[in-house]
Amino acid sequence: MLYRVLTILGLSLCAGRVNAHASEQGFVLLLPTDVYIISGASSVALTIILLAFLPKRTTHFIFSPVLQWQTLRFPFRHLASLLSTVLLGTLVWQGFTGPRDPLANPMPLFVWTVWWIVLVSLQGLIGNLWSWTNPWTGIGFFLKRLTGSRAPLRYPRRIGYLPGIVIILLFAAFLLADPAPADPARLATFVGIYWYVALIGLVLFGPVWIVRGEAITILMRAYAKMGAVGRSRGKMSLGLPGWQIAKSPLPPLGLAIFILILLGSGSFDGLNETFWWLDVIGINPLEFPGRTAVTIQTLAGLVLANTALIAGFTACLWMGERIAGSQRSLRHAFCLFAPSILPIALGYHIAHYLTTLLVDGQYVLRFFNDPFFRDANLLGLSEVYVTTGFFNTPGTVKVIWLTQAGAVVAGHVIAILLAHSTALKDQARTNRALLGQAPLAIFMVAYTFFGLWLLASPRGF
C-alpha cells in the first residue's frame, strides 16, 4: 500500500503557469486542462481514500527519515552569514548605481529570482539553507562577541509572531501592489531600510527578534521544515519532504496564522492576474491599465483572500472537531493542522513562479556572464539571446504546465498525508475520528481544484 501511495506521489510529481506571454497562455487554453484538473484532484482524493484503509503506522512510516548520517557542525555558519551580508550590501549599492533595467541590475535579479524563487523553493525542498544565508545572524553574533553586551530590551512575549505577521503582509503588499517592486533603486531602498531595521531589532531584543519578528526568517524557517534534509536525534537525516513537520511540536498560534498567510498571499498572487479577478474588479483583461490603477483593489483582495482562507480553514476544522467529538479547543486544532498547509503553499510557490524562473533565470545567467558590466563573456553567453520560445510550441507548453500541476498536486498529497498523520498522533483511531478528518480533506481537494484552475486560467498580465 505504501508503495501505491508513493507511486501516486511519483506520478503526480511529473506534472502548471506563466508570467509572460499571450501565446503561451494561448497554448494552455488549447490543452485539455479540465481533464488534467480532474485527474489531479482525483489523485489527491484517492490518497485520502487509501489512507482511510491503511494501518495507522503507514503515515508514521512514510514520514520517518530514511537515511541518517553523522556530521560535524560546520563552524563557519556565522562567517557565511557575514558573506551574505556583504553580498546584500553590494546588491543595495548596485541597486543605486548599476543599470536601471531591472533585468540587468543584480539587485532585483537576486531578490526576485535568486532569492524569492530559487532560494525559497530550495529551502522548502532541501532544508535550512537560510541558516547559512541569513544576512543578520552573523553580524548579530559578531556584534555580541565584540561588545559582550546582552540585548538591552526584553522581547514582549505577549506579541509573539505579530510583528512577523504584519511584516509578511507588508511584503506581500509590496510584491503585488507596489507600482515598481523591481525598480533597482526603489528595491534597494526598501531592502536596505528593512535590513537595518531588522538589525536594530536584533540588537535591541536579541535573537528572539529574528525568529519571531523578522518575517523573512520566519518564512524561511517555516519552509525549512518542509525540506528533505534536517536534524533528527542529533543526526542529519533525509526523508520525504514534510517529515520534519510530522515530527515537530505544536506551533504557536502566531506561527500557525503566518503559515496560512503564506498560502493565502501566494494564492492571491495567482488569482489577481486571472481574467476572473479582473472581471470582478471591472477591469478589461485585454488592456490591463497597470498596477497603479488597481492598487486599492489589489490590497483589498490580498486582505480578503487571507481572511477567506483562514475563515474557511477554521470552519473546516471546527466541523471536523464536531464530527470527531474531540475534546481539543479550536485553537489547538488550528495550530495542530496549520503546518500541513505548508506543502500546499510551497507547491504553489514553485508552480506559480516556474515560468518566471524560466525567463528571468536567463537574465540571471546573463548577469553572471558579465557581472562587472565590462563586456566579459565568462559563461560564453554573450552571443546567446534570452528566449521565450518554449512558450511558443504546444509540446513545451504542455511539459511546463504539467510540471506546474505536478508541483501543486504533490504539495496537496503531502498535505493530506501530514494532516492524516497529525490527526492520528493526537487522538485514537476510531471511525468517528477518521470521519472528523473529512472536512479538512475536502478542503484540500477543493484547494487542488483551485490551484490547478489558477494555472489553467487565462491571465490579463
Q: Which residues bind another protein (CB under 8 A)?
A: 19-23, 25-30, 99-104, 179-180, 182-183, 275, 278-279, 284-293, 383-390, 392-394, 396, 458-461
SS (H, E, C) 191-209: HHHHHHHHHHHHHHHCHHH
C-alpha cell at 20: 509572460
Cβ atoms of 211 and 387 closer than 8 Å: no
CB of 391 to another protein, least distance (A): 9
* CB-nearer residue toward another protein: 3 or 385: 385
Nearest partner of 307 among 255, 261, 341, 339, judged by Cα: 261
C-alpha cell at 309: 482562507
CB of 375 to another protein, least distance (A): 12
Q: Which residues pair with 68 in a beta bridge?
A: 237
Q: Is 242 exposed, middle or buried (0-12, 13-18, 19+ CB in 10 A)?
A: buried
* CB-nearer residue toward another protein: 21 or 332: 21
CB of 191 to another protein, least distance (A): 17
Name 274's Cβ contacts closer than 8 Å, sequence gap at least 6: 454, 457, 458, 459, 460
Name 149's Cβ contacts closer than 8 Å, sequence gap at least 6: none
CA atoms within 13 A on the CB side of 227: 23
- Inter-axis angle of helices 438-456 and 394-426, to 10 degrees? 160
Cβ atoms of 25 and 18 closer than 8 Å: yes
* CB-nearer residue toward another protein: 113 or 217: 113
* CB-nearer residue toward another protein: 28 or 414: 28
* CB-nearer residue toward another protein: 13 or 286: 286
CB of 168 to another protein, least distance (A): 22
Q: How far apart are CA 456 and CA 444, in angstroms?
A: 18
CB of 238 to another protein, least distance (A): 38
CB of 178 to another protein, least distance (A): 10
* CB-nearer residue toward another protein: 285 or 312: 285
Phi and psi, residue 235, nearest 5°: -120, 155
* CB-nearer residue toward another protein: 177 or 440: 177
The radius of gyration of the chain's CA atoms, rounded to the nearest angstrom, is 22
CB of 39 to another protein, least distance (A): 21
* CB-nearer residue toward another protein: 316 or 359: 359
CB of 120 to another protein, least distance (A): 20
Give the length of the chain: 461
